[in-house]
Structure 1
Amino acid sequence: MNTLSDAALAALAATDPADKCRLSRQAAADWHGGRLAGPGHSLPPERPGRPARPQLLAPKEMPKRAYKGDRGRIGLLHALAHIELNAIDLAWDIVCRFPDEDMPKGFYDDWIQVAVDEALHFEMLQNLLINLGSGYGELPAHDGLWQAAEKTADDLAARLVVVPMTLEARGLDTTPATMERLARNGDTMTPPALKVIYDDEIRHVAAGVRWFKHVAAKRGVDGKSEYQRLMAERFPGGLKTPFNHAARAQAGFDQDWYEEMAKAPSRLDGEKPS
């Protein structure tokens, strides 16, 4: 019988996004149906499978994104689709990257659900792109998200701090402003999709906070102090403000943990991490 990590590796290795989404749902169904023999010890690859397109650029080499009309919507949707495709792989990577941590079943349940959610998000955004006469891969994209995974491959606590508790939490801060701007411009299709993503991200951030606190307690360290130490070490640029304190509170993310890590205010329009 295959293990969960075997199923995770199959999803990670898939180069076609549609296959990655299908394999994610199949792995979840097999796990919940008792057809996978425990978490397993198959380690993930250094990089997941990717389609031939989009072209991957360094973040500083990315062309400026337009914000008006169909061209602007396509640019935004493509950037978000790329984030969600990476997020599928980030979820499967955390499932099988840290077998020596001996995490409870609930940890795997949570990140499997995250992978399924991200697959749905990617498909929603891809459908919106197709409706606009485009599709994922038509524009360049940057590799910053997977670089975050590479930089935290050595430590589960660092991965939880950087990915769900920082990159996904940033989505809670920026998505409402993006939805409002799109609605003002007459877009009736994208804001409902972003609302689904936003609601799911609250649960994803909550999972990150919950399991970070679990790992900190298991290691015998204070959660807040360890979070701030890892932030300073692994995310030295600091956090952008303003924060969506209400959404972060829904995720169980204590304001005094992250507010001290903030830097100067920044523009929100169009931003959306994982």
Structure 2
Amino acid sequence: MHFQWYPGHMTKAKRMMQENIKLIDIVIELVDARIPLSSRNPDIDVLGANKSRLIVLNKADLAEAKRNAEWAEYFREKGFFVIECNSKRGTGIKAVQNVVKEACQAKIERDRKRGILNRPVRAMVVGIPNVGKSTFINSLAGKAVTKTGNKPGVTKGKQWIRLNKQVELLDTPGILWPKFEDQEVGRRLAFIGSIKDEILNTEELATDLLHFIREYYPGTLSQKYEIEETGEDYECLMEIARVRKCIASGNELDLLKAANLFLDDYRSGRLGRITLEYPSDM
């Protein structure tokens, strides 16, 4: 299966971000804690050059705690500030503004020496589709200031949000990059829902994820679905369909329904905390 998805609005969004970066003091980049490297758009490093940088390991509750700590150390060694966060529950949100001020301390001090007082720090919030930017901003603001959704492509334009007198945020649409050089990156993005399911082979995607979980998290499937983890990956998907009574017309197993059910179970955390890539593999 070939992974690629780059709607027209992403080109416009990237141009808008390039035009606004000169107004920005710090780039807050949200990544999915389950795939921290694969969910980073390489264009952001070019865009945010010479700016303070904060990496937010979002959806940290869906990834292994041990792996979250390893990834936080990985990014800190590269010079980033790092926060683990669960935007939906608000975990880690309170620390964000303090870290932003710490990261921009040199800028704040320069302003003070020039007699510029109380000028807010301006932060650009960036990330790929479906990484949770809008939920993160709403949680940070303490109210609904942006549209949210569990599908990629909800935010289509820029939006300035004033958090308080100290910090202003620029929300931006989620953008991927035009071509995935490594199709494994595309596969991981598809696993977490950052590429629209409508353009993918859902059954194939589900069996690929089944294969990974069986190898790295043995026992997860038998515990969740009460099935045997023997046989081929496709047979496991058939067992899930039988157990969950995914039946199509003619009393045939509805494997598409089973695949969607399984992917949704993973994405929502119902299979437990599962990280799909590790710093040691990089």
Q: Give the shorter-chain TM-score range.
A: under 0.3
**TM-score, normalization: structure 2?**
0.25
Larger proportion of strand: 2
Larger proportion of helix: 1
Between Structure 1 and Structure 2, whose CA radius of gyration is higher? 2
